[in-house]
Each structure stands twice: as structure tokens, then as C-alpha cells.
Structure 1
Amino acid sequence: MSLGLLLPVLPQDGGLHDDIPGLARWAESLGVTSLWAADHVLWHSPVYECLTAVALAAAATERCRIGTCVLQLPLRRPAEVARVASTIQHVSAGRLVLGVGAGIHEGEFSAVGVRYDDRGARLDAGIAELRRLWAGTGDRYGHQRITAPPVWIGGSSRRAARRVAELGDGWIPLFVSPHGLAERFAALDAMLVARGRRPEDVERAAALWVRVTYTAAEECEAAAWLGRLYGLPDKVVARHLIVGPPERCLARMAEYVRAGASEIVVAPAADDPTATLAALFAALGSTPLQAPVHA
């Protein structure tokens, strides 16, 4: 099972993680195959800027793919995103995945003066503009042309599937059951074939909120953490949270692999992800490693 890590850029309790590069190096040594950062321009708690966090992770690692999960492209100018993404792609030796999505938090759009109701159209136009700019990198920026990063699509709706079929190199849904994921991937395959694309050329991942726990109290605390993150009742978010001993968590995650996900992006429901991540890899048979020392 290939496991990625969603970096802790949206903390709820303990403050911002003070050593993203150290955490990235440790995760790579543990066996993590990809490192991702979520994106919010404004949030109700301190938050790291997404592309900056990705760049820090890229500079600290050698093998992991690094990516955005997902960048709210309608909130940004595509030309600026194209420039930053191409720089990260270059310095990381081609390891970047640019995950993009429409965004669902209306307050962020209001705060930055961008319309919320046309965000889907803005996303589609933004992806097209990114590809146009990357295709002309050599002429526009005055340096050697580089390989454009793959563009993955976030979201779990049928419209997101159509967007993947039309514009995407990969799909990374969130808040979907294993059965729902299998149905969505089957629908995507049909859309790809209808457009003359090969389903095997489009990568698929699943982002899952996970907390390794050993008691009912710890399970409740994990749900409370996720509830605070989204500003929703604990019971609403609990159904989207994988909890329990590591073997139980891995068994649940394996259901998503059987549904078609080639990689599981673990989003630990805690400010510090190291305990959950180390426990999962220990259960997978990897050598248990100590958590990194924070700077």
C-alpha cells in the first residue's frame, strides 16, 4: 500500500508545526511516497501558504512526490500559479503534482473579492490557461522549457469526474466511501473512453482523515479535532474519519485501494501527524522510527 501524507498546515490545537522540512525528511525516511499540502487563503486559525509548504517539502526530500491537495485555483491568477508551479517542478526534478479544485468556502471568495457562483467555470478556464502558459514556457519566461507538472482534480462530484476526463491527469477525491469511490472511478473510466483517453493514463488517489487510537475517548477527541477544523458537529465529520488501532485503520484504507485508488493520502486528524504515521508504518512491517525532533 502506497501511503502519502497531508502535511499539517491547518492546525487546530497546538499551533503551526514548526519544522515542515524536518517532518518531510522524516516521513520520506519512513516510507511515505508523497507529501501534500492543503490550501486556504484565509482560515479561522493560523495556516501555512500551500505552495510555500510544498516548496519547503520539496527542498527537504529527494524521492517523494510533492503536491497540492488541493489548490483553490479560482482564488488566484493562473499566470502566477503557473510561474510558481513551474519553479517548484524544476527545483524538485519533476516531482510536483498540482492538485486543483474549485473551493467550497464562500467566505474566502468574499474576502479576496472573487465571485463564488462562477468558480467552476473559473477553474476550467484556469486549468486551460496553466497549460497554455506551460506550453510556451521557453518563450514567455526566457529560459529552457521544462516539463509541466501533472494537474490532478479535487472534488467528489460527477462534475469533478467530468473535469478529470476533460482536463485532468489524476483525481484525488475526499469524503467518499469505498463503494462510492469505486462507482466514481467506474464512471470516470466510461467518460475517458468516450473522449478517446485511456483510463490507465489517469492516476487515482484517495485522501482520508485518519487517527490511530486505542480508546473510545481518543476516538471522540479525534472527531472533535476534525469538527473544529471544518466548523461542523463532531457526529457529522465522524463518519468521514478512520479511527482505531493501526491494523483496523489499514484494513479500512485497503478498501479504498480495492476500490481503485493507487495511493492513499493520509490526513492525520491531529496537529502532529507523527504518532499516527509511525504506527501505520510499524503495522505495515516497516522498521518503527522515532518521531522527528521539532526545531
Structure 2
Amino acid sequence: MTLEIGIILPTSTPDPAKPILGDARAAARLAEASGLDSVWSTDHLVASAPILDSTVVLATAAAATDRIRIGYGVMLLALRPVAWAAKQIATLQYVSGDRLILGVGTGNPAHGDVGWRAAGASFAERGRRTDEALSLLPDLVAGRPVVLPDGTEVALAPGATMPPVLVAGDAERARRRAAAYAEGWVAIGLEPSEIGAHVAELSALAAEYGRPPLTVTVVAPPLATDPGQAAEQLSAYAEAGAARVVLALPGPEWQAGYEFAAKIKEQL
């Protein structure tokens, strides 16, 4: 089984003391030149550390490259009015030549609710609003008429190809959301030994909705620091059923992370 390798763009960090804010254009170009399959931007309005706007970052990455896929990793869909989110998604599809992957999540509680309050969005209802938005997105992105929850009828133009959707989250509710609305599920730090059970569960859930089996994407897989050993670990992910891994950056020197990913890619 072929394993796609993506990498996070230098646009945010889990550690406020070590912000990873680099040149998104240079990073995207380097990822493409290294043969990687995708680049990803994290998303929030106010996180626990500095963070750039994901849509602007992905538009920059798209403009700087020709082949590589660009992905929300992941978009907090309920943080935005759904029609506005659909406009951003459709426009990114248009300017990138249909290279977008739409990762969707409900947000890590570790960031708190300040960003949600600042956006005028409900933190408590983010799960329900995410489900609601996912049900409307395909028609909105395609430019078909849609009746919004408040009764407003809208058709966005120009329409675009709906990108593949990946739903993130470790809870059973997130996996059920993925089965209902998405082509894939995203987990953080999953070990190869844990993938098989999730693949079986996702297939069963998707069957309940009359949908095909879901792909599995693992973000920030725990890897050895030696490229050869890391490549062997990634082969184990592929054998276990993962379709993609997205590598996180080890620190502010983002170039080192990209060079490491390139060495792994060469050995797979």
C-alpha cells in the first residue's frame, strides 16, 4: 500500500515559547521539490500560541507550487458562517487547480474559548454546528442553491469541485461524523498497532450510512530521529492500513523538519 507523506507548514506551534512561524512560500516549494505529497496549515482565530490565518497560508502555498496538495489541518468549520467557509474553500479549489484537502475539526479545548467568543461563535455548540455545516458544504461549494439554517437561500458563484473531506478527532462521535460526511478520518499520534481496530470500526460506521470505507490519516506519528528507522516505521503504518501521515515540525528551525521528511521519502 502506498503511503502519502505530508508536512505541516511553519504557521503555528503547540509551544508558545517557541513559535514556528516561517516562510510559507519557501516551505511549500521545498516540500514540492522534495517529492512530498501535501502541505498543511493549522487553523484558529486565537490559539494558545501565535498562529497565522489558514486560508491565507494555503492560498500562498498554492500560488508558490504546481503539484503538491494543500490541506486544512484542520479547519474549525463551526468558527465561521458556513457560507463564508464554503466561499473560502471554493476559491482555494479554483486558484489551486483542485488541489485542496479539507480537514475539519471541532477544536482542541486546550486553546480555550476566547477565539470562539471573539468570532461570535458558540464553543458549546461547535459539534452540532460542524455537523450542520458539513451537510450543507457540498451544495454550497458546488454553487447549488442552499437554504441556510436561518432560512436564507443562497447560491455561491462560481461553484467549484468539492474537495475530499477528512474529519479529525479521537472520540467516537468524531469517527461517526467522519463516517457520515467524510472520505477519511484524522488521528493524532496514532501507533501502527492501533490502526487496524480503527479501520474496522470506520468501515462498519461508514456501512451504516451506506458510504464506502474511510481512509486514515495520522498526524504527528511518533518516529525515530534516524531517517532509516523512521522510514521503516512509516512502512508499518502503510501495512496497518494508513493512507497518509502528516509530519509535525520539531522546532523553530522548520527547514530541518522538511529535510528529515525528504530523507524519509527517499527511503520509502
TM-score above 0.5: yes
Distance 1:170 1:83 in 2: 22
Unmatched 5+ residue regions in structure 1? 210-240, 287-295
Q: Name structure 2 gaps, 5 residues minimum.
A: 146-153
2:104–2:168 Cα contact (<8 Å) kept: yes
Query: In 2 relative to 1, CA 130–259 (structure 1 residues): closer, same or farther, beyond 3 Å?
Result: same
- State the partner residue of 2:88: 84
- Conserved 8 A contact 1:66-1:96: yes
Q: In 2, Cα distance between the equivalents of 1:82 and 1:153? A: 16
Residues in 2 aligned to 1:174 and 1:15: alpha-carbon distance in whole angstroms: 20
Query: Are the structure 2 counterparts of residues 175 and 117 from structure 1 closer, same or farther at C-alpha, using a change threshold of 3 Å?
Result: farther
- 2:263 — aligned with what? 282
The alignment covers a number of residue pairs equal to 252
Question: Which residue of structure 1 aligns with residue 219 of structure 2?
Answer: 207
Shift of 1:23: 1.2
The alignment partner of 2:31 has SS state of helix
| Greater Cα offset, 41-50 or 173-182 | 173-182
Specify whether residues 197 and 45 from structure 1 end up closer, same or farther in structure 2 by C-alpha distance, changes over 3 A only: closer
Once the two structures are aligned, what percentage of the paired residues are identical?
Answer: 31
User: What is the letter of the counterpart of residue 100 of structure 1?
Assistant: V
The alignment status of 1:196 with 2:210, answered yes or no, reads yes
Q: Is the 8 A contact 1:158 1:184 kept in 2?
A: no
* 2:130 pairs with 1:123: yes
Q: Quick one: distance in 2 between partners of 1:137 and 1:92?
A: 21
User: Secondary structure of 1:173's match?
Assistant: strand
Distance 2:64 2:248 in 1: 20
CA contact (8 A) 2:80 2:119 kept: no
Moved more, 69-78 or 176-185: 176-185
In the TM superposition, what are the counterparts of 1:170-249 in structure 2 within 5 Å? 170-199=184-213, 202-208=214-220, 241-249=222-230
Q: Pairwise mapping of residues 99-178 of structure 1 onto structure 2 (< 5 A)?
A: 99-105=103-109, 106-107=112-113, 108-137=115-144, 140-143=155-158, 145-178=159-192
Secondary structure of 1:186's counterpart equals helix
Q: Work out the CA distance in 2 between the residues paired with 1:43 and 1:177.
A: 27
Superposition TM-score, scaled by structure 2 size: 0.85
Query: How far is the alpha carbon of 1:284 from its aligned partner?
Result: 4.4
CA distance in 2, matches of 1:271, 1:126: 35
Label 1:142 to 1:30 Cα distance change in 2 as closer, same or farther (>3 A): closer
* TM-score, with length taken from structure 1: 0.78
Note the C-alpha offset of 1:111.
4.1
SS in structure 2 at match of 1:4: strand
Specify the alignment match of 2:151 in structure 1. Answer: none
1:126 CA displacement:
1.1
SS in 2 for 1:189: helix
Q: Give the 3 Å change call, closer, same or farther, for CA 130–251 of structure 1 in structure 2.
A: same
Give the Cα–Cα distance (whole angstroms) in 2 for the partners of residues 17 and 93 of structure 1: 26
- Structure 2 CA distance for partners of 1:83 and 1:250, relative to 1, 3 Å: same
